């Protein structure tokens, strides 16, 4: 009787081990399959952009402003407008998001104010970008009576801010309590512990959040249609309508002119390469800092 019970337990153990092994194999195969699907989709997008966009690469593209169909022109004003508006948006949104994330993780944990701020941040994170553009249109464009590059940068900053907030809060919550206690034990005030210990420990994760914010706002079109509108002329004045690559792509891609369609493909390639280069540079820099 005891031998039969032992055999039955051995059979159940072997069956359980086989099921676990098969579940592990199934999860591994599905993970590889999901990875291959994502890589193939990304490769297809990049291949399409390079195939259709490289033909429009020329010196005129980077030195001449947008022109009428059939006239020699480029995207210099749109490139510069995108750099200015995206850079200003990150300069506004990233510090504000960083400070908010620090408050949620370090100072306001569990408070009603923190729950309210987190709820509003999550709402902004999932809000359609066109609604943000419409809001800034009513707040900054209608009262002043004209479109402007500054209002476009503010709209992009609002889109970038919740991404940095969520990333900063999540990263700071991963810092072990022992690291904070060690800093406090040495007599450091809380703000020094946060600044020199916690933030330094998770700076790579926070930089990833900033990169995600840049990638999000660099290709946004809808908010800029309501705010900066676009400009076919060269203009660096933030108080006037300002060109941008997403708006230029939107205008050119739907046209019936072959030269405009070609510039739309090239502009899309430039946006993708810009985000890719920024990611590579920051990744290499943060890796060097960690070593």
Model confidence over 226-285: pLDDT tens digits?
Answer: 999 999 899 899 999 999 999 999 999 988 899 999 999 999 999 999 888 888 877 777
Q: What does the pLDDT read at residue 255?
A: 87
Model confidence over 22-62: pLDDT tens digits?
Answer: 999 999 999 999 999 999 998 999 999 999 999 999 999 99
Closest among 121, 105, 115, 289 to 190, alpha carbons compared = 105
Could you tell me the pTM of the whole model?
Answer: 0.87
Is the domain covering 59-290 a CATH 1.10.10.10 domain? no
Alpha carbon distance 235, 193 (integer Å): 45
Average of per-residue pLDDT values in the chain: 90
Model confidence over 179-229: pLDDT tens digits?
Answer: 988 988 888 999 999 999 999 999 988 998 999 899 889 989 999 999 999
Cα dihedral sign for 130, 153, 237, 281? Answer: negative
Please state the domain extents for the chain. Answer: 2-56, 59-290
DSSP percent split of the chain into helix, strand, coil, nearest 5? 80, 0, 20
Q: What does the pLDDT read at residue 204?
A: 87
Work out the number of other CB atoms within 10 angstroms of the CB of residue 190: 13
C-alpha count within 13 angstroms, C-beta hemisphere, residue 96: 17
- Angle separating helix axes 245-253 and 258-290, nearest 10 degrees: 150
DSSP 42-56: HHHHHHHHHHHHGGG
> Confidence class of residue 291 from pLDDT cuts 50, 70 and 90?
very low
Q: What does the pLDDT read at residue 1?
A: 57
Query: Contact 75/60 with Cβ under 8 angstroms?
Result: no
DSSP 202: T
Angle at 220 between CA 209 and CA 74, to 5 degrees: 120
Q: Is the pLDDT of residue 129 over 70?
A: yes
Q: Is 57 helix (H, G, I), strand (E, B) or coil?
A: coil
């Amino acid at each position: 009787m005891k031998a039969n019970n032992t055999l039955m337990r051995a059979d159940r153990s072997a069956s359980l081990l086989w099921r676990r092994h098969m579940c592990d194999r199934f999860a591994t195969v599905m993970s590889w399959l999901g990875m291959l699907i994502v890589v193939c989709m990304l490769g297809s997008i990049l291949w399409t952009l390079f195939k259709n966009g490289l033909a429009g690469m020329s010196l005129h593209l980077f030195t001449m402003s947008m022109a009428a169909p059939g006239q020699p022109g480029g995207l210099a004003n749109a490139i510069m407008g995108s750099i200015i508006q995206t850079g200003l948006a990150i300069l506004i949104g990233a510090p504000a998001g960083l400070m908010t994330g620090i408050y949620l993780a370090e100072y306001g944990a569990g408070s009603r104010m923190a729950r309210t701020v987190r709820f509003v941040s999550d709402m902004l994170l999932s809000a359609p970008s066109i609604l943000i553009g419409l809001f800034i249109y009513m707040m900054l464009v209608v009262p002043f009576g004209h479109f402007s590059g500054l209002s476009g940068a503010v709209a992009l900053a609002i889109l970038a801010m919740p991404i940095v907030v969520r990333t900063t809060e999540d990263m700071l919550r991963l810092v072990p309590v022992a690291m904070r206690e060690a800093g406090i034990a040495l007599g450091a005030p809380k703000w020094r512990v946060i600044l020199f210990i916690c933030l330094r420990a998770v700076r790579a994760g926070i930089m990833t959040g900033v990169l995600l914010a840049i990638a999000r706002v660099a290709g946004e079109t809808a908010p800029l249609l309501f705010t900066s509108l676009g400009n076919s002329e060269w203009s660096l004045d933030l108080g006037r309508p300002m060109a941008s690559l997403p708006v230029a792509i939107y205008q050119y891609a739907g046209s019936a002119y072959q030269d405009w369609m070609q510039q739309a493909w090239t502009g899309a390639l430039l946006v993708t390469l810009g985000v890719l280069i920024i990611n590579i540079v920051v990744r290499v820099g943060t890796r060097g800092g960690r070593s």
